[in-house]
Structure 1
Amino acid sequence: MTGQRGSRFTMGWKRLAAVAAVSGLALLTVPAPATAVGVKGIGHNATQVQPNATPGSEWHGSYVWQDKHVWCVQYALPAPDSAVGYKPGDELLTKAGKKLDPAVAANISYLLLRYSTTKSPEEAAALAHLLHSWTAAPDGPVRFDTPDPKYLAYNAEWYAARLPQSVMDTVARLRADAEANRGPWTLSAAAPTDPLVIGTESTWTVALLKQNDKGVPNAPISFTLTDAKLTDGSASGTVTTDANGAPVALKVIPTGPKPAIAVTADSPADKPVVHQPIQTENMQRIVTTGGEKELTAAANAPARTAPGAVKITKIDSETKKAIAGVALRVTAKDQTSPALKQDDSPLVGTDGKPLVLQTGADGTVEVPGLRTPQEICLVEVAAPKGYEEFFDPKAPPASCGSVAPGSTLALELVNKPNTPVVPSTIPAGTEGSTPVATASFETQLRPGLMLAVGGLVLLGAALAGLLVWRRQ
């Protein structure tokens, strides 16, 4: 059967390469020459052929046509000759020419996808039995009692009693499998909702769901990553859902700014399609591998470099000691606009201006969560006490540098202290151990005080003259 890609489709579950399938299987019937009609593949014979059926109709299994295994519909007509060409036909109809019930069509599409290249004779026989049961049931001119093979119905009860019990057990299993897992299926991929960081592992999910929104079990899903890789370094491969069909979690490491995943999976075709014989209508139609269609899905998300941080230390230029309580403005390279946070939003305070921080007791302040790479500047807002003399508000001290992904930029900003002032005190003893004596001056003179001072001056002059006369 052919879908969107026809028999070129290679399956990931139990698919076999065409030539390997023919040469490597243990066939229950020895193949006839390539030009013979009805070269049998793998399966089982019933113990008897149905009344009015042509010889060979007891065979339940695959046929080998053009080096691949196929299944026949249009029960009781001659099986395909390997030399007879077939062309892709329309959707599969019943032997009475009617459309299949949608549920039956979905069952057939699923079973072709899942079992059409099986290595099991029981599964091959069960698949053939189910195909005939669904497509050649009695309906109008299609009946059990006609000698015309073109209208002979398939007697499912007759063959159920004449096929091995292992085949009928497999029939029940395949029917239940089809009803539980038939299409249509949907494939999806999802990127994490949390921000992605380049070089940091993240979890992406892919899911293959049935029409009841439950996962398809044991289903292979192929993936290809862009701007990303798995933890083992690979960027493509195949993952398989578990026995419950749970979504598959992929550990993905973004390697660039636009990580993305593209996934594909094989799905049952919406409707089965047949190959029709070119030369004659009096031959069975065939269904082959390729009755499926390919589903695709994709997901992507932006990734950023790892955030960085800046740490600045404020020190005295002479003592090299830390200066606490210094206000610093965090800006971009232009020392005017705000720096950017990891999410590209501006780093501002409540006033909407570039954020201002103060150094702590150790003279440092750190700014984490910065976008990288980025040029960062820390600009002094006002001079700390004792450092006013050399502070120029028109060109305040600043320190700048580039913040790299995942690292902390260390900056240093030095303040020169004010020039020392000469003290107006006179030490009165050993420095640091004796009290300091200070001079006090009275600049205002009263009249009475001036007379007393004048008398004292005259008296001092007379005494000095007397002393000089006596010495002479």
Structure 2
Amino acid sequence: MGWRRLAGAVLAAGVALLAVPAVSDAQVQEGIGHTTPAQGYRGKPGTTDWLGSYIWQGKQVWCVQYSFLAPDSSVQYQEGDELRTKAGVPLAPDIAANISYLLLRYSTTNSPDESAALAHLLHSWTSFEHGGLSLSPDSDYRTIAYNEQFHYDNLPQSAREAVDRIRKDAETNRGPWTAKVTAPTDEQLIGSPGTWKVDVAKPDGAQVGGVPVTVELKDATLESGQTTGELKTALDGGPLAVKVVPTGPKPSVVVRLDSPADKPVVHIPAQENMQRIVTTGGEKKLTAEASTTAKTPPGVVKIAKTDAETGKGIAGVALRVTAADGKPALKQDDAELTGPDGKPLVLQTGDDGTATVPDLRTPQEVCVVEVAAAKGYEESFDPNAPPKACGKVEPGQTLALAVTNKPNKPVVPITIPAGSEGAGVTAKAAFTTEVGTGSLVGFGGGVVVLGALAGWLVRRRLVAARS
């Protein structure tokens, strides 16, 4: 019991092989099904009927125009209009949909019970008593109606169960169907599988289970690594979940499937009194597509600020994170990595001398530049050429950047003898490479005061000598 996937499979109208005018000389070949007692009518040959398929030109077909001649391999057909009842009345929309569904679903069955059940239902829906068709035994092959209850009662129990089952299947799952592919709403990462959904829905919106679908992928593969695959919709009534692995920035999924057509299409036999042949009409091709975008996995930059001599981390160092051109680096969502001032982000190293920048777009060049010297490291800091380190952040990787600082030169003590009055006293001076402006002003003021005092003492001694 399999879904019919190949367009062009046919089914034919007629159950019993009858001795009526214009009998073909070619062999009629029965397929699979069951032989039952005959329904009588005027001119009925034989004592049995055949409920099942026929083989016509190598194809398994079923009959829908009860009592006309079964097709043989020599009969040719031409395109006609939509399938009607044996009396020429248009089929009710739900019946037409039922027939299309059953042909799609069961025309490749290998079960005699399902084959007989399909033949029985097709005749029940097309050759019932109406429009001049009658169950009277006085009717001939042209006007005899199909006695549904009589044939049902004469089927084996297993075939009767198949009739009930596939009738319910048709009423539950008939078309027209719709197909839809839904891409994931969350961010997709190249190389990581995401779940796409395929919905095959009936007119009431419910899902159709067990439907074969072909998936075709671009900029993506299935988890198996293939770019195409044959899958089936879920049997539990939910959507088909497809794991898709993006391989490029614009992954897309196309789904193709056969859907039952709204109405079966009949083919007219060239020979009079022969069965009409109906293609499943059957299938109409459904296509659905969806696409999204995918990015490489984000990267991380880990920065270490260390003492060049001890290798220990330096805490509290301000570092600016930029792209290679000095502009802001990009985050995974393509937003710029900036601080509150709108400029490239400035961060500080922690107690261990490190800082981490997560969720960066990859691949990209990232640089860290020291903004200001840490205390104790001022001497080696050049504001015109501050310490800097750059590297490329790769997808899903952590880029380690190290920036080192030389500590200031140590303070050099100088011991000065203080003379007799200063015996035992030592003065120490600390020399640095920088002198604050305030210190210089204080020191200069001191020089001026000392010079004025010396001049006053000289003048005082001269006056005393003269007196």
Matching residue of 2:68: 77
Within 5 A, what are the aligned runs for 1:172-321?
172-280=164-272, 282-288=273-279, 291-321=282-312
- TM-score, normalising length from structure 1? 0.80
CA positional deviation for 1:94: 1.2
Deviation (angstroms), 1:204? 2.1
The 3-state SS of whatever aligns with 2:62 is strand
Which structure would you say has the larger RCO, counting Cα contacts within 8 Å and 6 or more residues apart? 1
Shift of 1:121: 1.5
Q: 1:408 to 1:426 in 2, by over 3 A?
A: farther
Match of 1:401 in 2: 391
Bigger shift: residues 370-379 or 70-79 = 70-79
Is 2:99 the counterpart of 1:114?
Answer: no
Contact 2:315/2:353, CA 8 A, preserved across alignment:
yes
Instruction: Give the secondary-structure state (helix, strand or coil) at the position aligned to 1:125.
Output: helix
Aligned to 1:99: 90
Deviations 1:220-277 (A, max 9, x none): 2221222222333333222223432322222222222222222122211111112221
Q: Check the 8 A contact 1:219/1:245 in 2, yes or no.
A: no
Identical pairs, percent: 58
Secondary structure of the corresponding residue to residue 73 of structure 1: coil
- Report the CA distance shift for 1:349/1:15 in structure 2 as closer, same or farther (over 3 A): closer
Return 367-376 or 410-419, whichever deviates more: 410-419
Residue pair 1:104, 1:134 contacting (<8 A) in 2 also: yes
**Match of residue 56 from structure 2:** 65
Alpha-carbon distance change, 196 to 15 in structure 1, aligned in 2, over 3 angstroms: closer
2:387 maps to a residue whose letter is P
Alignment of 1:297-446 (within 5 A): 297-335=288-326, 337-420=327-410, 422-423=412-413, 426=416, 437-438=426-427
Aligned length: 421
Seen in structure 2, the aligned counterparts of structure 1 residues 200 and 411 have a Cα distance that, compared at 3 Å, is same
SS state of the match for residue 376, structure 1? Answer: strand
Counterpart CA distance in 2 for 1:295 and 1:422 is 88
The AA in structure 1 aligned to 2:86 is: K
Whether the aligned pair in 1 keeps the contact of 2:100 and 2:283 (CA below 8 Å) is yes
1:304 Cα offset (Å): 0.9
Q: Is the 8 A contact 1:308 1:404 kept in 2?
A: yes
CA distance 1:111–1:121, change in 2 (3 Å): same
Deviation string, structure 1 residues 144-200 (Cα, Å, up to 9, x no partner): 346443333222233233333433332222211111111122222222211111112
Larger displacement relative to structure 2 (193-202 or 155-164): 155-164
Amino acid at match of 1:312: I
Post-superposition offset of 1:341:
0.4
| Structure 1 contact 78–284 (Cα < 8 Å) conserved | yes
* Residues 264 and 281, structure 2, Cα contact 8 Å, conserved in 1: no
How far apart are the structure 2 equivalents of 1:323 and 1:12? 72
For the 8 Å contact 2:268–2:277, the answer to whether it is kept is yes
SS at match of 2:277: strand
Counterpart amino acid of residue 248 in structure 2:
G
Alignment of 1:39 with 2:32, yes or no, is no
Determine if contact 2:181/2:253 at 8 Å carries over to the other structure.
yes
**Structure 1 stretches lacking a partner, 5+ long:** 1-10, 20-28, 429-434, 455-472
Letter in 1 for 2:224: D
1:89 and 2:87 aligned: no
Cα deviations by residue, 1:347-396 (Å, 9 ceiling, x for unpaired): 11122221110011222111111111101111222222233344333433
Given the alignment of the two structures, is residue 138 of structure 1 paired with residue 97 of structure 2, yes or no?
no
CA distance in 2, matches of 1:222, 1:149: 44
In structure 1, C-alpha distance between the alignment counterparts of 2:375 and 2:406, rounded to whole Å? 11
2:365 partner letter: E
Are residues 1:168 and 2:157 paired?
Answer: no
Structure 2, unmatched stretches of 5+, are 10-16, 18-23, 419-423, 430-445
Q: What is the DSSP-based 3-state SS (H/G/I as helix, E as strand, rest coil) of the residue aligned with 2:337?
A: coil
Q: What one-letter code is carried by the residue in structure 1 that aligns with 2:298? A: P
Gap change, CA 1:98 and 1:69, over 3 Å in 2? same
